[in-house]
Amino acid sequence: MTILLAAEAVEKRYGGQGVFGAGPARTVLRGVSLSVREGESVALLGASGSGKSTLARLMLGLERPDGGTVRCLGRPIDGLDTAGRRTFRRTVQAVFQDPLGAVNPRHRIGRIIAEPLRHLTGLDAQERAARVAELLRLVGLAPEDADRLPGSLSGGQVQRVCIARALAPQPRLILLDEAVSNLDLVLQLQILDLLAGLRERLGTAFLFITHDVRLVRRFCDRVAVLHDGELVEDRPVAAPFTFDHPAARALLDAMLPAAPSPALRNRSAESRIAP
Amino acid sequence: MTAHRLSVEGLRLSARRDGRPVELVRGIDLAVERGRVTALVGASGSGKSLTCLGMQGLTPPGVERLGGRVRLDGEAVEPATLPGRMVATVMQNPRSAFNPVLTMRAHARETLAVRGDAGALERLLPEVLAEVGLPEPERIARLYPFEMSGGMLQRMMIALALLAGAPFLLADEPTTDLDPLVQAHILSLIGRLVATRGLGVLIVTHDMGVVARLADDVAVMEAGHIVETAPVAALFAAPRSDAARALLGAHRALYPEVFA
């Protein structure tokens, strides 16, 4: 299977300068390698501050690694020419957590979704409008919503607009960085089911960055865990779902319960505060 | 501080959309009792957060209160007098609840001043910081909000609630944006305060996992109405409303090994 996107031993350090003067540089990623193949759905799990979003930004070419390489279809994304960048953008699309920050509030929904179609495809205006209507239906919105402004939609609806925009150029890989975590669970499942359907029909691959272990078990076939800037797990999702590394196990242990139980609510047992 | 039951009756809130009033909360009765956790659940837009605000007499800009009476132990009270002394709040985005130019110590002093007890700051602050799991009180007291993580700020919100001595805590999606480790700590902290301090908690959430973890009673909202109330075990065992069935259906899909 073709490797669509790969981070190879990437390093990232931040710091040196700040509001309160130069501080020590902080290493955020240490020699991290992660690849996503055609049609694969890979989860990237980790607590906050583990480096998940930094890795995502490196893999999207939004920031440069201090060491190592990111490759798209085998070519390093650093130093791509114009045609190469176009191929990269057509191959990999992304959806982020904050939907309202990711759209121009003055542009109508139709224009927002058509944006990648204008830049990355040869569709004419009429074909673009037809594709926008199709995409809106696909994410559970109405074709008439194309004429609305983002401000008149709810956060969840704008998030679906962002997903429609990512789907627009038919990318081979979509990176979702906590892209559904601010939707309610019913909506999260609807969207993830929809994406799973696309994966089945079109073979679209996903890199799914989340802190919800429960979603990983349902939607991914491989899971990688970042802890303190290092990749501590990279394994298939299989039953029983377990990890070896203590930090990864801690994430699993913290998973919310499936059902209420008197033992859980026996609050006298909760006399200990975790640090 | 003797109140045991905070309740609201016939709460109705409306907003204007395209110049016409739309009723978002349509006559809600809801109660929170000391020593218990009531969960208010529902899909986005069902009116959960507005109800939570309405219980403390607050309405966001553009929202009008059409009706509703807040009672403490059955006695009608002016809801605007509740925030602070009677009712403390924890929200999804704790950062917006802090004044960016004040340290944690200054926030704590302000909270105690409302209670008329600013003199107790040096004695009480280390105590509540330890209670919510924020070690090194001297260091924490000097921090500004931007120097703290979301989880630390959420703990600080709870510490301020304890300083205020409010018997009721309204928590609107308090753990939704937090990672699972921090989420587990916050939920267990709230549970412990219910047990040790007899705090009465209303927790607004869309996650039935949070409900299973923490709640004693559940109220299910849909389109501005409460469509079902039940003890937590009964709701999970036999939901009666479509809204509860939809929430539980999505929840169970996440636990394939339990509900295969």
Name the average pLDDT for chain A: 89
User: Which pLDDT belongs to residue A176?
Assistant: 95
Per DSSP, B24 falls in state E
Q: Does A100 touch chain B (CB under 8 A)?
A: no
User: Which pLDDT belongs to residue A19?
Assistant: 59
Most confident listed range (A219-233, A249-263, B170-184) = A219-233
Compute the average pLDDT of residues B63-74: 91
Compute the average pLDDT of residues A148-157: 87
User: CA B171, B174, B177: angle at the middle one, nearest 5?
Assistant: 160
Residues B56 and B82: beta-carbon distance below 8 Å:
yes
Write out the H or E segment, with its range, that includes residue A30: strand A26-37
Assess whether pLDDT exceeds 70 at residue A274: no
Taking CB atoms and an 8 Å cutoff, what residues of chain A touch B211? 260
Superfamily of domain A3-10+29-103+173-254: P-loop containing nucleotide triphosphate hydrolases (3.40.50.300)
Assess whether pLDDT exceeds 90 at residue B245: yes
- Residue of chain B whose Cα is closest to the Cα of A50: B179
A17-30 as b/e: b if 16+ CB within 10 A: eeeeeeeeeebbbb
Percent of chain B topping pLDDT 70? 99
Assess whether pLDDT exceeds 90 at residue B136: no
Taking CB atoms and an 8 Å cutoff, what residues of chain A touch B135? 275
The partner residue sitting opposite B250, judged by closest CB among A189, A213, A275, is A189
Compute the average pLDDT of residues A160-180: 93
Per DSSP, helices labelled H in B165-207 are 180-197
User: Which pLDDT belongs to residue B18?
Assistant: 74
Taking CB atoms and an 8 Å cutoff, what residues of chain A touch B215? 260
CA nearest neighbour of A263 among B234, B73, B212, B91: B212
User: Which pLDDT belongs to residue A180?
Assistant: 85
- Residue of chain A whose Cα is closest to the Cα of B180: A254
Name the average pLDDT for chain B: 90
CA distance B235 to chain A (A): 10
Q: Do A211 and B179 touch (CB under 8 A)?
A: yes
**What's the rounded Cα separation, in Å, for the pair B51 and B142?**
35
CA nearest neighbour of B197 among B172, B152, B160, B166: B166
Percent of chain A topping pLDDT 70? 93
Write out the H or E segment, with its range, that includes residue A187: helix A185-202
Of residues B19 and A4, the one with the higher pLDDT is A4
Taking CB atoms and an 8 Å cutoff, what residues of chain A touch B192? 267, 270-271, 273
> Confidence class of residue A270 from pLDDT cuts 50, 70 and 90?
very low
Assess whether pLDDT exceeds 70 at residue A23: no
Assess whether pLDDT exceeds 60 at residue A25: yes
> Confidence class of residue B107 from pLDDT cuts 50, 70 and 90?
very high
**Residue ranges covered by each domain of chain A:** 3-10+29-103+173-254
- The first and second tokens of residue B197, run together, are 């301090």
Compute the average pLDDT of residues B211-230: 96
Compute the average pLDDT of residues B128-144: 90
Taking CB atoms and an 8 Å cutoff, what residues of chain B touch A188? 250
Interface of B with A in 159-198 (CB under 8 A): 176-185, 188-189, 191-192, 194-195
Q: How many residues does chain B have?
A: 260
Q: Which of B38, B181, B252 to mutate to test the interface with A (most CBs of A within 10 A)?
A: B181
The partner residue sitting opposite B206, judged by closest CB among A185, A268, A275, is A185
> Confidence class of residue A201 from pLDDT cuts 50, 70 and 90?
confident
The partner residue sitting opposite A260, judged by closest CB among B185, B232, B254, is B232
The partner residue sitting opposite A186, judged by closest CB among B180, B250, B256, is B250
Cα–Cα distances (Å) from A17 to A30, A47, B145, in that order, read 20, 25, 20
User: Which pLDDT belongs to residue A20?
Assistant: 59
> Confidence class of residue A272 from pLDDT cuts 50, 70 and 90?
very low
Please list, in sequence order, all residues whose beta carbon lies within 8 angstroms of the beta carbon of residue B246, skipping any fewer than 6 positions away.
A186, B43
User: Which pLDDT belongs to residue A265?
Assistant: 64
CB pairs under 8 A between A and B: 126
Residue with tokens 């070519």: A75
Q: Name which of A91-100, A160-169, A241-250 the model is least confident about.
A: A91-100
For residue range A101-145, list pLDDT tens digits in order.
Answer: 889 999 999 999 999 999 998 899 999 999 999 999 988 899 999
> Confidence class of residue A21 from pLDDT cuts 50, 70 and 90?
low
Q: Which of A218, A270, A271, A272 to mutate to test the interface with B (most CBs of B within 10 A)?
A: A270
User: Which pLDDT belongs to residue A271?
Assistant: 42
